[in-house]
Every structure is written in C-alpha cells, then in structure tokens.
C-alpha cells in the first residue's frame, strides 16, 4: 500500500507567545503607527531596526512594508530611475523584476547554472550593459560571492542583494546581504520571520540610508529610527527625496522581534529537515540533487531538485502522482506560470532574448517548501514518496 503524506505545505508555525503578547501590548496602547510615540519612547519598529542591524553587522537597518518595497527603495536610493538598465537573475520571483520595473528601469537578465545560482560567466559578459546588479539569492542558493564581487567591483557595478530566502544565511562567514551596498529582506509569511507582510533593508552607507528613510515616508521624523545617519546627511538630501510611503508599523515589528531573537535556532531546524529530504532523494535515478558549496551557510526553508532534460509531460506526471500522495511540488518549467513559478520569459514588460543554457535548467527545476510544522519523520516520508514516483516515471519513460 502506498504511503500518503497528510500534512500541509502552507501551514506555518504560530507566532510565538511573547510575540503575541508584544502585539497585544501595542494594540492596547493604540500607538500602531511607528512615529506615534510618547515622549522618550522607542517604538517597536525602531527597536527592530536596531536589533536587525546588530544581527547582520550593518551600520543601518530600515523596517518597511514588504521585501518588494525594500528592493524598490534600494534602487531609488542608489539613483536608479526611468530608462536605466539593471542586471538581475533569470531565475527569481516576480517581485524582483517588478521592483526594477516599478522605478521605470529595465531588467537585463543573467543566466542560471545547474547549481541554481546566477551564472557568473554570463554576468561577466554583461557588465557593460548596466551600472547596478539586483542579485537574487533565489530559493536560498548563494553563488560564489567572492568572485561575484570581484566582477562587480572591477566593473563599477553597484550590488543590491535580494535576501528574501537567505535571512540567516552566509557566504564564507559574511551574512547574506552584507556583500553588496544594500541588502533587502522579506518577512512575508513564507520567509524566515513571519509578519504576514514586511521587509527590512540594511546598508553601511549614510546617504543611501538617509534617502531610504525619507523614501519610506518619515516626513521629518527620521530621528525616531533605530539607526540614524548624521543630521547633515539628511540635510543634504531631504528636500529632493520624495515620500513614497511604505513604513512598517509597530504591530508587525512587535511580532517580529521575538522571532529575530530565535532566528539562528529556527534556521538550524530548517536545515535538519532539508538534510533529511536531501539524503532521501540522493541517488534517485533521473533526479539531480543541488550540491551546496562548502563556503555557503544556507537555510533550507525549501528544497529544489532537477529533472534535467526530462520531457515536460513526464515532469507533469511526477507532480500529479506526488500530489495524489499528499506531496505538493512546484515546477518552473511549465509553459504557463502557476502561482509563484514565473520566470524571465513570463515577464513580458521586460523584453529578453532566449538563453538556451538557462532555459534547459529552468525547464527542470522542481521546488518544494519545507515548513517547520513538518517533523523529521514527515520529511523522510516526503522523500520516500518523491523518490518512488520519480523512479516509477523514470522507468516508464526510459522503457
């Protein structure tokens, strides 16, 4: 009899009790707006900024309404505007090119390798096409950041990191988001901290931070932030930086601060689950596990594998067979995007040329969330189901 998995791939853990208590305290105060503070009071949003800056080792942090808003704000803060071209990954999620398009700029897509990271040879070939790289650590896969920064620094490319899937991760001991000029993070429900929606931005650059704070809608209340550049920096930019309001409120910040204190522990729990699934899939005929670099400290909140060079109908059969057994897989190779599985050729507002090597990889990417509501036995069961169904379809098509 075939085993069936009965868990939910969208069910997250509850907000911790101290987060709920902090949220209730904010609600009872009525002071949800981040600048609505009593005399001498530090609000939850400012406290979160201070604590997140300390965690990442950044000089400054800014709490905002979403990860996408953080990216668009970072682009505006470094001077990207209408008609500019911005390099970015061909394998990413729609908010990344969406942030570029939102400032009137044009994405220039860079290829993906079988390791699911940006193709650094393709990046090196395209450095003359733009002055900024919006680097997406898509699905938590971090490329060789030493080589990437050598390429970008040598070519005068400003790097902004999309760390929606790498909060708590690192490359060679440096936290994700700290190689580039700006790091952007998400606290949407499926990310590593959950406030429903929300985002954070970090930088060491005083002017970038001052512009970002003003862009986020600080009016002239920027002194109430958790990390504040010198007054003279604000004085130089405050009259020519528009207010594009996208602040985080104290309620969401209150929910996030206890989660931030537990981030390392949560990341290790994700990695325990990831390792169980990875071990269970390794050696499956026709299935390619994504090998992780030794310098990468990843966070396995999702897992990907490749069914490389499989016909589309065979991959669809694998997905259907797994779903009948309770395992929900997503595929980035379908002709039409479903849910979040769009890719560079889906975004018709951003014209692009075909990239055959990347297209081959994209057609084979299968993706699965690993919520912390799964235990290790769940993960072993999921791996057995995927292994069995991939093996069965592989044998059918090989025959």
pLDDT tens string 102-156: 999 999 999 999 999 999 999 999 999 999 999 999 999 999 999 999 999 999 9
Residue 244: partners with Cβ closer than 8 Å, 6 or more residues away: 73, 76, 215, 216, 217
Provide the pLDDT for residue 52.
98
Pull the structure tokens for residue 55: 């965690």
Average pLDDT over every residue of 282-303: 97
CA distance to 67, 277, 328, 374, per residue, from 64 (Å) = 8, 34, 31, 30
Count CB-CB contacts under 10 A for residue 372.
14
Q: Taking 70 as the threshold, does the pLDDT of residue 399 lie above it?
A: no
Average pLDDT over every residue of 386-398: 92
Count CB-CB contacts under 10 A for residue 122.
18
* Dihedral angle sign, alpha carbons of residues 233, 235, 241, 244: positive
Look at 43-52, 182-191, 344-353 and tell me which has the smallest mean pLDDT: 344-353
- Assign 337 a pLDDT band (cuts: 50, 70, 90): confident
- Nearest-CA neighbor of 180 among 207, 201, 210, 211? 201
Provide the pLDDT for residue 340.
84
Provide the pLDDT for residue 341.
85
Provide the pLDDT for residue 396.
86
- Assign 335 a pLDDT band (cuts: 50, 70, 90): confident
263-398 to CATH, choices 1.10.357.10, 3.90.1150.10, 3.30.70.20, 3.40.50.300:
3.90.1150.10
- Assign 250 a pLDDT band (cuts: 50, 70, 90): very high
Residue 100: partners with Cβ closer than 8 Å, 6 or more residues away: 75, 80, 86, 88, 106, 107, 134, 350
Provide the pLDDT for residue 339.
84
Q: Render pLDDT for 27-79 as a digit per residue (tens, 0 to 9).
A: 999 999 999 998 888 999 999 999 999 999 999 999 999 999 999 999 999 99
Average pLDDT along the chain: 96
Provide the pLDDT for residue 80.
98
Q: Taking 80 as the threshold, does the pLDDT of residue 1 lie above it?
A: no
Query: Does domain 17-261 sit in CATH 3.40.50.10130?
Result: no
**Percent of the chain surpassing pLDDT 90:** 93
Q: Which residues pair with 375 in a beta bridge?
A: none
CA distance to 38, 132, 165, 179, 381, per residue, from 161 (Å) = 35, 11, 11, 8, 35
Count CB-CB contacts under 10 A for residue 263.
17
Pull the structure tokens for residue 264: 């390392």
Provide the pLDDT for residue 288.
98
Count CB-CB contacts under 10 A for residue 295.
14
Q: Where are the domains of the chain?
A: 17-261, 263-398
CA distance to 59, 81, 184, 381, per residue, from 236 (Å) = 19, 20, 24, 59
Helices (H), the chain: 17-29, 44-56, 67-77, 95-102, 120-126, 145-155, 206-215, 231-237, 250-261, 263-281, 312-324, 356-363, 376-398
Average pLDDT over every residue of 269-278: 98
Terminal Cα-to-Cα distance of the chain (whole angstroms): 24
- Nearest-CA neighbor of 376 among 283, 320, 300, 307? 300
């Amino acid at each position: 009899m075939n085993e069936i998995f009965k868990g939910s791939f969208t069910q997250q853990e509850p907000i911790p009790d101290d987060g709920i208590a902090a949220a209730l305290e904010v609600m009872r105060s009525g002071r949800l707006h981040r600048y609505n503070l009593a005399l001498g009071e530090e609000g939850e949003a400012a406290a979160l900024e201070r604590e997140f800056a300390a965690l990442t080792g950044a000089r400054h942090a800014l709490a905002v309404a979403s990860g996408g808003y953080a990216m668009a704000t970072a682009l505006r803060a470094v001077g990207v505007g209408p008609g500019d071209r911005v390099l970015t990954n061909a394998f990413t999620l729609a908010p990344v090119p969406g942030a570029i398009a939102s400032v009137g700029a044009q994405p220039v897509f860079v290829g993906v390798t079988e390791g699911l990271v940006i193709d650094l040879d393709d990046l090196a070939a395209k450095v003359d096409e733009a002055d900024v790289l919006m680097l997406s650590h898509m699905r938590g896969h971090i490329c060789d950041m030493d080589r990437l920064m050598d390429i970008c620094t040598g070519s005068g490319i400003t790097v902004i990191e999309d760390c929606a899937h790498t909060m708590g991760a690192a490359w060679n001991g440096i936290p994700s988001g700290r190689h580039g000029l700006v790091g952007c993070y998400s606290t949407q429900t499926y990310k590593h901290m959950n406030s429903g929606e929300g985002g954070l931005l970090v930088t060491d650059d005083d002017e970038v931070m001052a512009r970002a704070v003003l862009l986020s809608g600080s009016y002239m209340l920027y002194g109430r932030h958790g990390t504040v550049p010198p007054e003279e920096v604000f004085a130089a930019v405050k009259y020519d930086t528009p207010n594009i309001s996208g602040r985080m409120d104290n309620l969401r910040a209150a929910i996030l601060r206890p989660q931030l204190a537990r981030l390392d522990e949560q990341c290790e729990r994700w990695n325990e689950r990831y390792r169980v699934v990875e071990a269970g899939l390794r050696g499956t005929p026709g299935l390619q596990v994504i090998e992780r670099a030794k310098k990468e400290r990843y966070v396995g909140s999702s897992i990907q594998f490749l069914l490389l060079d499989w016909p589309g109908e065979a991959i669809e059969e694998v997905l259907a067979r797994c779903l009948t057994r309770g395992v929900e897989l997503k595929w980035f190779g379908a002709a039409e995007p479903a849910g979040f599985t769009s890719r560079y050729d889906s975004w018709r507002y951003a014209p692009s040329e075909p990239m055959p090597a990347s297209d081959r990889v994209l057609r084979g990417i299968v993706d699965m969330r690993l919520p912390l509501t799964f235990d290790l036995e769940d993960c072993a069961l999921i791996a057995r189901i995927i292994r069995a169904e991939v093996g069965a379809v592989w044998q059918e098509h090989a025959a």
